[in-house]
Chains A and B, each alone.
Chain A
Amino acid sequence: AQSVTQPDIHITVSEGASLELRCNYSYGATPYLFWYVQSPGQGLQLLLKYFSGDTLVQGIKGFEAEFKRSQSSFNLRKPSVHWSDAAEYFCAVGENSGYALNFGKGTSLLVTP
């Protein structure tokens, strides 16, 4: 069955430190891959997406993600975290023949001073 796994429920990082959020998927074909961010009380905002081509994708707010087919992963990274990055992050997977996105359960990011 198709699935999306975000292994880390909560992550705490210090402001200025680097960040990596993990996402693993189980799909038959090459999927469409997304990272969304949700601030408290808000809807989901697209950070970045991968459809094809260069496996390193740049997004908004200084985020990037790398698609690794051999590891079925699409991890999100940021070199230096800001306090405003504290939020819930969701990885999602879709297919061009599919009907909707399949979301992971999210990773909650806490940023400490």
Chain B
Amino acid sequence: DAEITQSPRHKITETGRQVTLACHQTWNHNNMFWYRQDLGHGLRLIHYSYGVQDTNKGEVSDGYSVSRSNTEDLPLTLESAASSQTSVYFCASSTLPGDTQYFGPGTRLTVL
């Protein structure tokens, strides 16, 4: 069955380190998204991509970057991790913009 996976599921890192969170989908969806979830804020969009070589900034993109070299993967990189980036990160994909998004299980990131 098609699915969307995230790794690692849990990560603890130190302030200033570079961290990359992986997202892999086998739906063959063109559109992929990264969100962060924080108490009281719901889900906030970090970056999104409409296809290979396409990336766009979302609502809370500062300190994050993504790259899309193939259809299946959209890794999220924290260039220099900050304590404010402690959060749960969700990756999602969809066939069309504005259409149903399918979510991965999430990555809980703690920055000490």
Contact = CB atoms under 8 A, between A and B. Distances in A.
Indicate, yes or no, whether A interacts with B.
yes
Interface residues of A, number: 24
A97 interface: yes
A43 B33 CA distance: 14
Contacts of A44: 43, 90, 92, 103
B45, B58, B97, B104: residue with the most chain A Cβ atoms closer than 10 Å: B97
Contacts of A95: 98
B48 A100 contact: yes
B58 A100 contact: yes
A34 interface: yes
Main secondary structure of the interface of A (DSSP, over half): loop
Interface string B39-75: 0111101001010000010100000000000000000
B43 A90 contact: yes
Contacts of B42: 90, 103-106
Nearest to B44: A103
B87 interface: no
A100 B33 contact: yes
A94 B104 contact: no
Interface in A36-59: 36, 41-46, 49
A107 to B, nearest CB: 10
A51 B98 CA distance: 10
B112 interface: no
Given A34-B100, A99-B50, A100-B98, 9 more contacts: A43-B90, A46-B100, A90-B42, A95-B98, A96-B96, A96-B99, A99-B48, A100-B97, A103-B35
Interface of A: 32, 34, 36, 41-46, 49, 90, 92, 94-101, 103-106
